[in-house]
Structure 1
Amino acid sequence: MNSLMTKSVAVLSLLLPLAALAKPDLSRLQVPSGYSLSLFADNVENARQIAVSKQGIVYVGSRKAGKVHALIDFNKDGVADKTILLAEGLTMPSGLALKDGDLYVAAVDKILRFKQIDKNLNSPSYDVFYDKLPDKRHHGWKFIRFSPEGELIIPIGAPCNVCKEEAPFGEIVALNLETKTLKTWAKGVRNSVGFDFHPETQGFWFSDNGRDMMGDDIPPCEINRLNDIGDHFGFPYFHAGGIPDPEFNAGRKASEFVAPKLALGAHVAPLGIHFYRGKQFPQQMKNKLFVAEHGSWNRSKKSGYRVMLATVKDGQITGYEPFITGFMKDEQTYGRPVAFAELEDGSLLVSDDFADAIYRISYNKK
């Protein structure tokens, strides 16, 4: 056991006990046979993106709550024992990522950095690492992740339902940590709140949320793959590969843009996506793509509200099926899945910003 875990007494005075309020009702949620779903932590207000350090500490961002938390499972039993409030009063710090022991947090127009965070839980502080991102709050919250080359990948959503704004709006960009310069990775992306790199090919895959106000059933939300740096995925001219925008498509052709690898249901709101890398789940689960369908907010009949599982083969999605259901029933919302992270034992964490919870999915080996 590392020194951080053994010196818990020094930290306990600054730890906040997990609130003893009503826990999410796990009996509503269904997972495939052989898997079990448990509660890793509850009362993590507005839990969004998750990152797990080498020490096994789980860091969690939020959006409306404006908070960043750390969760510690001292005895490694799959349940968080304590939570630490690292920061509050931030502007939608939804996205976070770890690199070389530092925790980076995206707070709309800024990237904050908590240096060597695992070692400084008893006196957390941050500096402003980068402050030249747009300050628009509409689609301004972010999901971030480091590329295999060490660049920080940052989406900059369109500041509207649908509009034509100058770059970097509607793009996914890469921040060089040394030069602090931005490079455009993808264009024509309305609002991506989740992406991952394929563990074997290193291909960049990302979700994108389709525009609103074209009816219940169009346009679809998307799962995309970047073919070449600078690819354009259609927004605001075309949606989901071939649906022209009624306001902005004049003079453009669908063939100019990269079509999605999978067109999802309209308004299902795919957020986090994650390729499974662990060894706990069956072998056939390796490199499967988990997708958190956060759920519709303005459809006449709700859609999404589930965790899906995509099969990716030779750069194509060949299957798409439910993995966790029960977040919504009879138009009643009980949860909204957001993002994923793996623990060292290969179990999978899933955040839920509606139920203020983080679930743990494990496989029951026989």
Structure 2
Amino acid sequence: MHKLAHIGIILGISLALMSCTAEPNTSGSQPELAFDDNNGGLELPDGFQAVVVAEDVGPARHITVRDNGDIYVALSKKQQEGGIAALRDTSGDGIADQTEYFGEYTGTGVDIRDGYLYRSSDLEVFRYPLPNEGLVPDEKPETIVTSLPEQNQHAAKSFTFDQAGNIYVNIGGPSNACQEEMRTPGSPGQDPCPQLERHGGIWQFSADESGQNQRQDGHRYATGIRNAVALDWNNSVEKLYAVQHGRDQLNALWPDLFDEEENAQLPAEEFFAIEDGDNFGWPYSYYDHFQEKRVLAPEYGGDGEETGRAEDFEEPIYAFSAHWAPNDLLFYNGDQFPEKYRSGAFIAFHGSWNRAPKMQEGYRVSFLPFDGEKPAGEHETFASGFAGTQEIESPNDADHRPMGLAIGPDGSLYISDSVEGKVWRIVYTGN
């Protein structure tokens, strides 16, 4: 590369980083980002550095960033009587020095659209008008979707938006495999599974109409999805995508058919490209990434190899290792990261609980390159080190667990943690 061109690139990166200040900073100064010496405990690819935005905002779920740099974090437990943490950096160093809590409900989903902060509890989706200058909304929320089903398992109502005014809401299946006796060895599956009437799929609603009800106003966009906490609309190809939590306990429930190794390695966490009307086969089937085919679930007469009705369902576009627990999906539409990351998918894997007696796995953010609508290669680990240890027998052993992903106005990637509420901001510097 010509020496002057090389100097120009370095200068451009430096100016871009110096401009990464929150709008509330009016001092006229251009402070540098306060990168952590060890990237906040994370291992990142060469050329990336991390700022620890916050250490302990509370057990975080999904996260979103406003165009002025303000950050909103959904919480699973209230902190200071609020279910949302609002963060602001007033000095421009990337570290939040103002934290406020608001909101009556806890839950998973949070996002920003057309001047509104959308938030989901386990039963509703609502939105707040964002203030012009303040950090916390000063108006009461408007309920967009109400009366979503209450459930003890897979209750998170994650959501995403398309560009045509629709919101897509995940409603997970309230069981492992729709057994007659839940999580009981040898119990057959209910056939047909009655849970699919209101669960186990993605429902479409209007993003702007208040007081919608699932039964009267919701459109079942896709079914046969056990739980898709990781859900995103890919604006570059105008298509809905999700990464599913695969079923559990093949050995515990069917010891005559599956051993402990198969229990730990099966089934795949499936990556779906979703069209209106698709059926991905839960609870009747699962995807075996070693055989590279969908097979019949044991609750419905399967033996680990038989396909049967599984052939009638949609296939995943990619398969990840079992039990990694995909909890957020984000297509990168920024321009700060190198070209290989453009339009590719980041997936936050929360980490497994159910591989015992094997060690638990996951606990990372992975990247999967895309070419148009489909993956264009194999996934790679983008960020690791969250757990703080290589040997994880139980999720309780993990220091942190990656949960939510968001893109900042400058193209930085933000990651939230569900244990203490640590928030990282990943920046490409080339260093």
The normalised TM-score by structure 1 is: 0.88
Equivalent position to 1:63, from 76, 79, 82: 76
SS state at 1:83 partner: strand
The answer (yes or no) to whether the contact 2:88–2:96 under 8 Å persists in 1 is: yes
Equivalent position to 2:378, from 300, 314, 319: 319
Matched, 1:218 2:218: no
| TM-fit CA distance, 1:132 | 2.2
CA distance in 2, matches of 1:282, 1:6: 28
- Structure 1's 123 and 314: CA in aligned 2 closer, same or farther, altered over 3 A? closer
CA distance in 1, matches of 2:132, 2:248: 41
The residue that corresponds to 1:307 in the other structure is 365
Structure number with bigger Rg: 2
Amino acid at match of 2:198: P
Equivalent position to 1:187, from 223, 231, 248: 223
Normalized per residue, the structure richer in strand is 1
- Structure 1: unaligned runs, 5 residues or longer: 8-22
The residue that corresponds to 1:19 in the other structure is none
Amino acid at match of 1:46: P
- Structure 1's 27 and 136: CA in aligned 2 closer, same or farther, altered over 3 A? closer
Matched, 1:30 2:43: yes
The answer (yes or no) to whether the contact 1:305–1:325 under 8 Å persists in 2 is: yes
Amino acid at match of 2:346: F
The residue that corresponds to 2:96 in the other structure is 80
Matches within 5 A, 1:1-366: 5=24, 26=39, 28-65=41-78, 67-88=83-104, 90=105, 92-117=106-131, 121=136, 123=138, 125-163=140-178, 164=193, 165-176=195-206, 177-178=208-209, 180=212, 181-214=217-250, 215-226=263-274, 228-240=275-287, 242-248=294-300, 252-300=308-356, 301-317=359-375, 318-328=377-387, 329-331=390-392, 332-365=397-430
CA distance in 1, matches of 2:349, 2:47: 22
Amino acid at match of 1:285: Y
The answer (yes or no) to whether the contact 1:272–1:340 under 8 Å persists in 2 is: yes
Amino acid at match of 1:234: G
| TM-fit CA distance, 1:284 | 2.1
CA RMSD after TM alignment: 2.7
Amino acid at match of 1:203: K
Amino acid at match of 1:311: P
CA distance in 2, matches of 1:198, 1:237: 28
The normalised TM-score by structure 2 is: 0.75
The answer (yes or no) to whether the contact 1:237–1:249 under 8 Å persists in 2 is: no
CA distance in 2, matches of 1:42, 1:64: 16
Count of residue pairs the alignment pairs up: 349
CA distance in 1, matches of 2:141, 2:418: 24
CA distance in 1, matches of 2:204, 2:381: 32
